[in-house]
Amino acid sequence: MTSALDRIRVGSAPDSWGVWFPDDPQQVPWERFLDEVAEAGYSWIELGPYGYLPTDPARLTDEVTQRDLKVSAGTVFTSLHRGPSVWDATWEHVGQVAALTQAMGAKHLVVIPSFWRDDKTAEIIEPAELTTEQWGHLSTGMERLGREVKETYGLDIVVHPHADTHIDTEEHVERFLDSTDSGLVNLCLDTGHYAYCGGDSVKLIETYGERIGYLHLKQVDPEILADVVRNGVPFGPAVQRGVMCEPPAGVPELEPVLTAAQGLGVDLFAIVEQDMYPCEPDKPLPIAVRTRKFLRSCGA
């Protein structure tokens, strides 16, 4: 039996139930997600897309409490690389999500950079590489976001490297970390997205450990990924091909990642996410049960 990873708090998210959007007929109703995530043995959840779960704090508190669940984080998408002109609209959206996150007793806000390629249509929205000026906007914008979210809502932002965004590869992640203040901005390391983009999660934890503020646990199928990379398949269609797979069938191995994270000596959330939008409504629960059992075997 693996030694207990007592600094790691495991949870799951609507994403593991095929939920990508606030409202979509292909997604399971939110009540079913809450029922099944509790049944699978998780006690922590994320809010998912704002508006999927009830946004009234009293109602949501009642719904999660009766299922013995607690909220670890909210999630926002931002396009701060576009400069100061997007700040007001960004802050309006962030404020909605942050207020609900705070009201639920969570301490983290997961911040995902905007996609350069549409995740539904695969249309290319803007160049995949940022200019030097845009990198500057991204760095200063995220620092401002981190400062104002902390001052206003008492939350820490954790920026999520993500496929088909401008913070994706090892080179881009390191550039972002090296250009931002660790007192304002840290990272949500998603093991699946980082592997998808060619990164090594254990190496990142060992190199930038003080910047790891949160984890998403996810694996990719290396054979499907190789085909995705070879043919330039966008992220949405890649997910439909099953590129994000059930642990422990893919990469990276999660036990070494969890061991490295435990070695940082800080409390960390490790939220299971298995992208599978869209999916059959009966598919997520058995996977969630098996994944929880697997993570227990790792000591988490």
Q: What is the pLDDT of residues 242-262, one digit of tens each?
A: 999 999 999 999 999 999 999
Q: What parts of the chain have a pLDDT lower than 70?
A: 1-3
Question: So what's the pLDDT on residue 133?
Answer: 98
Token pair in block for residue 215? 């984890």
Question: So what's the pLDDT on residue 1?
Answer: 38
Contact 245, 16 (CB under 8 A): no
Contacts of 103 (CB under 8 A, 6+ apart): 57, 61
Question: So what's the pLDDT on residue 3?
Answer: 60
Question: So what's the pLDDT on residue 77?
Answer: 96
Assign 3-class secondary structure to the chain. CCCCCCCEEEEECHHHHCCCCCCCCCCCCHHHHHHHHHHCCCCEEECCCCCCCCCCHHHHHHHHHCCCCEEEEEEEEECHHHCHHHHHHHHHHHHHHHHHHHHCCCCEEEEEECECECCCCCCECCCCCCCHHHHHHHHHHHHHHHHHHHHHHCCEEEECCCCCECCCCHHHHHHHHHCCCCCCCEEEEEHHHHHHCCCCHHHHHHHCHHHEEEEEECEECHHHHHHHHHHCCCHHHHHHCCCEECCCCCECCHHHHHHHHHCCCCCEEEEECCCCCCCCCCCHHHHHHHHHHHHHHCCC
User: What are the distances in angstroms from CA 207 to CA 102, 148, 221, 291?
Assistant: 31, 28, 25, 28
Between helix 254-262 and helix 284-297 the angle, nearest 10°, is 50
Contact 252, 201 (CB under 8 A): yes
Q: At which residue do the structure tokens 């845009």 appear?
A: 134
Contact 20, 46 (CB under 8 A): no
Instruction: Look at residues 5, 22, 19 and name the one whose alpha carbon lies nearest to residue 279.
Output: 19
Pairing of strands 108-113, 219-220: unpaired
How far apart (Å, rounded) are the C-alpha atoms in residues 116 and 124?
Answer: 6
Instruction: Look at residues 197, 132, 134, 188 and name the one whose alpha carbon lies nearest to residue 170.
Output: 197
pTM: 0.97
Q: What is the pLDDT of residues 201-238, one digit of tens each?
A: 999 999 999 999 999 999 999 999 999 999 999 999 99
Question: So what's the pLDDT on residue 120?
Answer: 72
How far apart (Å, rounded) are the C-alpha atoms in residues 252 and 221?
Answer: 9
